[in-house]
Amino acid sequence: MPSLLIAVGSLVAYLIAYHTYGRWLSRKIFGLDPANKAPSVEFEDGDDFVPTSKGVVFGHHFTSIAGTGPIVGPALAVIWGWVPALIWVLFGSIFIGAVHDFGSLVVSMRNKGQTVGDISGRVLAPRTRILFLSILFMALTIVLAIFGLVIANVFRMFPSSIFPCVVQTPIAAAIGFWLHKKGKSLLVPSILALGVMYLSVAFGDWGFLHSFNTTLAAWPVIAWVIVLLVYSYIASVLPVWTLLQPRDYINSLQLLSALGLVVVGLVVAGLFGFGSGSEKQSLEIVAPAVRMGTDAPSGAPWIFPFLFVTIACGAVSGFHCLVSSGTSSKQLKCETDAQFVGYGSMLTEGFLAVLVILACVAGIGLGVPEMIAGSATGKTLVGEAAYNANYSEWGTASKGAISAFVSGSGNFIQALGVGAAFATALMGVFVASFAATTMDSACRLQRYVTQELGAAIHFKPLMNKHVATIFAITLAGLIAGMPAADADYSVENLGKGGLVLWPLFGATNQLLGGLAFLVILFWMWRRNMPIWFVAIPAVFMLILPAIAMVSQLFAGDAAWLTGKNPNYLLATIGIVTLALEAWILVEAAKAWPKAKGVLEKAA
């Protein structure tokens, strides 16, 4: 029953927040006006600037910002207990994350669809443009370098998810053509696409498709990295309506409907129990509320600040400012749609994070396969034993976070009488689809950032979309193509190079959120707008990642710079990142007294 109350209470809290705080921001602060011409209308080019209904943009935006972040982050963070994770997700998403995403979207729309990195050069100081764009470029390079490995690992864990994910691409292309060229209603193609995708989950591992899935699941990681980067290149340079937009939209239909099944299953399990007869189990939270002090998990870093870095997506994530100001601001056809897309998507992601927490602390207790040395023993663990098997120490939790979510959420769906195979396949598709939509969106965003960097340094070749995209995926491919640290150069090890830089992403990503808040803050300061609700999160998001980065550099035996086995590559990049942040803050401090009420140069 506590799980059910948490789920219902969180949903109610998000609905209230959207219709109160979100509406106040929309009407009283930002003054969104349908009469204002949106960038998609003013600069419509059929390529990047495409006026689109808010429902389709919501689908693109939600699936792009979500990725695996609101799954892996909360699924790992419950190792510190479920209460800290839940509090950070609820308050973070409502008062920090949604404000960040919404503000980035509005500021971009008011600046002709430019990214926050480009805008920073006018609202803060000219030098911050290149500094900000450099941080954006580094963060996106890490995303592109790691997500091929993430998707490949999901496919290896859940081979039955491969065909359903592959079939989404031709369905998306067909719907993109249908809507753009024919101007038809969304209803019929949406229903057809959703039906076909669920059929692909139900029957996508039958007969010869089982061989298809198992063959592709056995591919080395480097093969998936190459295929996915080539796909990302194609999705990035094609007009947004042909693939990126409709694929994200149909993915959102499947993902949101699957989310709905998880919720209904949670309700059923909470009210009526799980299973039948003498084996029926009640749904209970089997994880400790808090694990700190003497109860702290083995090998885990300090809960502060690392809880706030581990759970990024789901509470607040700097990557979201790139989606808001990079792609979504170029597609919304009406300014007032920004609340639904910017604020609403983040609250939806927050609710997803709440469900992930519940899946990993309650759903998992309904039963998970016992694993020894990576192989199933045939036994099922239930209750606290199931939680302890996945969260005994930091290393185990880091490797098994996705599996914990898939098992826990799959149990919720099975409470509806659905078979275990279908539930597992659906949740596997859920995770892989989120990762894939983030990867292709990240490639398009990296193309924009690279083009803006080319303009900033007056290097014309990088301003070409094909050159910029090839440069972006080549760099990411070179990093991803290497083996992980200390591994030899073998086919099996290639493709894992993104793991080398991945430890940087948490703090860098949250720093990016703080810098986006800084741009929003200056934009509002120059217009004599109230700023307290942006200033407080901005300070928090600028200080927090700096503390995390300093801790990683100097604290403990595993410290990059002063630890027993120093990692000078990570230490160097970490120090440079901190230096860039300090430089931007110095520029901001110098500009602040002179900026109040003084409008920046027009975009």
CB 437 within 8 A of CB 64: yes
**pLDDT score for 214:** 93
Cα–Cα dist 568/458, whole Å: 32
Q: Is 378 left (phi over 0), alpha (psi -120 to 50) or beta?
A: left
Cα–Cα dist 436/249, whole Å: 13
**pLDDT score for 297:** 86
**pLDDT score for 556:** 81
Strand partners, 376: 371
CB 360 within 8 A of CB 78: yes
CB 412 within 8 A of CB 363: yes
As a whole number, the mean pLDDT across the chain is: 89
> How many CB atoms neighbour CB 475 within 10 A?
16
Cα–Cα dist 262/215, whole Å: 30
DSSP code of residue 393: B
DSSP helix/strand/coil, 332: strand
Instruction: Give me 455's structure tokens.
Output: 């303009």
Domain boundaries, the chain: 2-274+327-482+493-595
Which residues have a Cβ under 8 Å from the Cβ of 304 and sit 6 or more positions away? none
**pLDDT score for 343:** 97
Per-residue model confidence as pLDDT tens digits over 491-550: 888 888 888 888 888 889 999 999 999 999 999 999 999 999 999 999 999 999 999 999
Instruction: Give me 256's structure tokens.
Output: 């949101």
Instruction: Give me 516's structure tokens.
Output: 């986006």
CB 446 within 8 A of CB 424: no
CATH topology for the 2-274+327-482+493-595 domain: Amino acid/polyamine transporter I (1.20.1740)
Instruction: Give me 471's structure tokens.
Output: 């440069």
Print burial letters for 123-134: b (CB count within 10 Å at least 16), e (below 16).
bbbeebbbbbbb
Print burial letters for 271-298: b (CB count within 10 Å at least 16), e (below 16).
eeebeeeeeebebbbbbbeebeeeebbe
Per-residue model confidence as pLDDT tens digits over 156-175: 888 988 999 898 888 888 88
Which is it for strands 368-372 and 375-381: parallel, antiparallel or unpaired? antiparallel
**Residue-wise DSSP of 269-306:** HHHH-BSSGGG-B-----S-S---GGGPPBTPPPHHHH
Cα–Cα dist 438/66, whole Å: 7
Residues of the chain with pLDDT under 50: none
Cα–Cα dist 100/98, whole Å: 5
Distance set, CA 414 to CA 52, 274, 379 (Å) = 37, 8, 18
Which residues have a Cβ under 8 Å from the Cβ of 561 and sit 6 or more positions away? 553, 554, 568, 571, 574, 575
**pLDDT score for 57:** 92
**What are the two backbone dihedrals, phi and then psi, of residue 131, each rounded to the nearest 5 degrees?**
-60, -45
Cα–Cα dist 238/233, whole Å: 9
Instruction: Give me 253's structure tokens.
Output: 């239909």
**Residue-wise DSSP of 323-357:** HHHHTGGGTBSSGGGHIIIIIHHHHHHHHHHHHHH
**pLDDT score for 183:** 61
Largest Cα span, the chain: 73
What is the separation, in whole angstroms, between the first and last Cα of the chain?
53
Length of the chain: 603
**pLDDT score for 93:** 97
CB 405 within 8 A of CB 397: no
**pLDDT score for 494:** 83
Cα–Cα dist 524/531, whole Å: 7
